[in-house]
């Protein structure tokens, strides 16, 4: 039996009918949303099929969870400095009179916004980031939520006075889902392509000079840390298969969050190991992840590198800066915080990091976007003091970060959600890709070592794209 034969498309038109009847004589717009169980749907294959309709992808392979958003029932787009709060308020207002039937759907199902924010509050304007706003959270018309306990389909319709008939919109969604579910393909993906490096921003000489200047600023006491990033442009012989890339990331980075957000012909994707913040009820989780070293050739080499990492004053200092920032940012809103005294070493495919998990409980009710606003940008991607670090970064970097190092994730109708820092990421456009990576610069940072560290980080996505040639 094929995957398509095992897939049963629900009758969304019939399921919506009793909800539409509850609209009655309302004069304003009304969000109507329902969730039903489904089976036999492969998230990666579904995303591949749905990309022309506008799609978002979110997966935590180790946890067995994923979200695939298709189309747009509603969206909040903001380029204002208060973008997090503005989108949060707009979302709550939309939900005030919503008609929702989620039955026993799990966390991550029901009406959910998927999307992200740029590193900077101003919208990017380079060709690489065409279509990506400073902040954009989308309520998908169709959302597939997959958990170890099963899969759920959430369909959402915004009923507008004088707009299309609700039944007609429900029929259209029903047809769209039936087509996608029936035609999804589960191909293993082509063999790795060969990709050539066509550009770097900055070049190696400029990088070395920037690292030296920032390290000097730290040494003179102007700042504690600044994070310098670089971009690498790649060219393939044919269009890059996004689905195949996501499958490789799913396998190669099971401990990371794999994500992809399509904007027209461009897709921002990656596999990041760093959680920014997760909120369930009043329980929050975040992490400090800073300080890194490569993987070794074998277990003994890994252990030696990890021991050196734990013993490095430079790496421990960089890590401590992040821990301090998290404590100071969360203390005003958390009634309790649990922060281990010592970091541990977390191992990923190409790199090892110092990691300190942080958990806590909020004093008052808040949504996950409120916490995102308090935490972004962390010293992991910006620096400290924050404003001075960001000013110096803007002076040194020659490329736009766009959504690289920004928060990406989801928020549900209860304000719960999960956001990560968009590291190990890049933009794919046809046969071209632009990858990003960065390093934390402190007083004793060595330019050559930082260049090599950034190259190691670029491997996380670069190796999933194909074989990169100089």
Q: Given 81, 175, 255, 274, which residue is catalytic?
A: 274
- Residue 225, domain member (yes or no): yes
286 shares its domain with 432: yes
Q: Is 225 among the residues known to form the active site?
A: yes
pLDDT of the residue at 186: 53
Closest CA to 438 of 232, 227, 208: 227
Q: Which residues sit opposite 468 in a β-bridge?
A: 195
Q: Is 336 among the residues known to form the active site?
A: no
pLDDT of the residue at 2: 39
179 shares its domain with 231: no
- Residue 62, domain member (yes or no): yes
Banded model confidence at residue 470, pLDDT cuts 50, 70, 90: low
338 shares its domain with 254: yes
Banded model confidence at residue 408, pLDDT cuts 50, 70, 90: very high
379 shares its domain with 341: yes
pLDDT of 178 higher than 70: yes
- Residue 92, domain member (yes or no): yes
The residue ranking higher by pLDDT, 91 or 468, is 91
139 shares its domain with 207: no
The residue ranking higher by pLDDT, 10 or 203, is 203
pLDDT of the residue at 164: 87
327 shares its domain with 465: yes
Q: What is the pLDDT of residues 47-101, one digit of tens each?
A: 999 998 999 999 999 999 999 999 999 999 988 778 999 999 999 999 999 999 9
- DSSP element (H, E) containing 434: strand 432-441
- Residue 17, domain member (yes or no): yes
**Count: domains in the chain:** 2
Banded model confidence at residue 120, pLDDT cuts 50, 70, 90: very high
217 shares its domain with 334: yes
pLDDT of 321 higher than 60: yes
302 shares its domain with 371: yes
- Residue 124, domain member (yes or no): yes
- What number of helices (H) and strands (E) belong to the chain? 12, 24
* Domain termination site, one of 183, 210, 235: 183
pTM score:
0.93
- Residue 188, domain member (yes or no): no
Banded model confidence at residue 242, pLDDT cuts 50, 70, 90: very high
> Residue 14 sits in which domain range?
3-183
pLDDT of the residue at 336: 86
**pLDDT averaged over every residue in the chain:** 91
Q: Given 81, 127, 196, 225, which residue is catalytic?
A: 225
- DSSP element (H, E) containing 326: helix 313-330
pLDDT of the residue at 5: 39
- Residue 360, domain member (yes or no): yes
- Residue 462, domain member (yes or no): yes
Q: How many CB atoms lie within 10 A of CB 93?
A: 9
321 shares its domain with 346: yes
DSSP letters, 94-149, are HHTT-EEE-TT--TT-SSEEEEEE-SSSSPP-SGGGTT--SEEEEE-SEEEEEETT
Contact predicate 323/339, CB 8 Å: yes
297 shares its domain with 353: yes
Hey, what are 394's tokens?
């803007």
Q: What is the CATH number of the domain that holds 457?
A: 3.60.120.10
* Domain termination site, one of 183, 205, 231: 183
Banded model confidence at residue 185, pLDDT cuts 50, 70, 90: low
40 shares its domain with 111: yes
Banded model confidence at residue 147, pLDDT cuts 50, 70, 90: very high
The residue ranking higher by pLDDT, 7 or 192, is 192
pLDDT of the residue at 1: 33
10 shares its domain with 134: yes
- Quote the CA–CA distance of 99 and 19 in Å, as a whole number: 7
């Amino acid at each position: 039996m094929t995957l398509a034969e095992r897939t049963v498309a629900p009758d969304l038109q019939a399921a919506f009918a009793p909800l539409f009847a509850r609209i009655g004589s309302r004069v304003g717009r009304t969000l109507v949303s329902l969730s039903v169980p489904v089976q036999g749907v492969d998230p990666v294959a579904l995303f591949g099929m749905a990309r022309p309709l506008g799609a978002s992808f979110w997966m935590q392979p180790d946890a067995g969870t994923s979200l695939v958003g298709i189309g747009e029932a509603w969206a909040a787009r903001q380029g204002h400095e208060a973008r997090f709060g503005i989108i949060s308020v707009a979302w709550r207002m939309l939900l005030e009179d919503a008609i929702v039937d989620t039955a026993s759907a799990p966390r991550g199902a029901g009406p959910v916004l998927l999307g992200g924010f740029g590193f900077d509050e101003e919208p990017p304007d380079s060709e690489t980031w065409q279509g990506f706003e400073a902040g954009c959270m989308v309520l998908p018309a169709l959302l597939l939520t997959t958990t170890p306990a099963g899969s759920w389909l959430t369909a959402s319709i915004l009923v507008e006075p004088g707009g299309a008939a609700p039944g007609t919109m429900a029929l259209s969604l029903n047809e769209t889902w039936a087509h996608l579910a029936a035609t999804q393909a589960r191909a293993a993906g082509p063999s790795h392509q060969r990709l050539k490096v066509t550009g770097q921003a900055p070049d190696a000489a400029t990088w070395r000079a920037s690292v030296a200047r920032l390290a000097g600023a730290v040494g003179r006491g102007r700042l504690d840390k600044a994070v310098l990033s670089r971009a690498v442009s790649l060219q393939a012989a044919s269009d890059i298969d996004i689905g195949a890339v996501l499958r490789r990331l799913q396998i190669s980075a099971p401990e990371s969050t794999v994500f992809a957000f399509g904007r027209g012909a461009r897709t921002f994707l990656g596999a990041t190991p760093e959680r920014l913040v997760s909120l369930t009820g009043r329980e929050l989780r975040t992490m400090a992840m800073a300080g890194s070293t490569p993987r070794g050739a074998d277990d003994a080499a890994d252990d030696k590198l990890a021991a050196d990492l734990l013993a490095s004053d430079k790496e421990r200092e960089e890590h401590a800066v992040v821990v301090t920032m998290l404590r100071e940012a969360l203390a005003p809103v958390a009634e309790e915080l649990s922060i281990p005294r010592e970091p541990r070493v977390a191992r990923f495919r190409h790199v090892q990091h110092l990691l300190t998990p942080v958990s806590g409980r909020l004093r008052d009710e808040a949504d996950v976007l409120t916490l995102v606003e308090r935490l972004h940008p962390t010293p992991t991607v910006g620096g400290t003091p924050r404003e001075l670090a960001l000013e110096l970064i803007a002076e040194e970097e020659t490329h736009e970060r766009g959504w690289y190092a920004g928060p990406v994730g989801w928020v549900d109708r209860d304000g719960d959600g999960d956001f990560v820092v968009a590291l190990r990421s890049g933009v794919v456009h046809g046969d071209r890709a632009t990858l990003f990576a960065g390093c934390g610069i402190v007083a004793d940072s060595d330019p050559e070592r930082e260049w090599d560290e950034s190259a190691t980080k670029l491997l996380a996505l670069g190796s999933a794209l194909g074989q990169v040639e100089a």
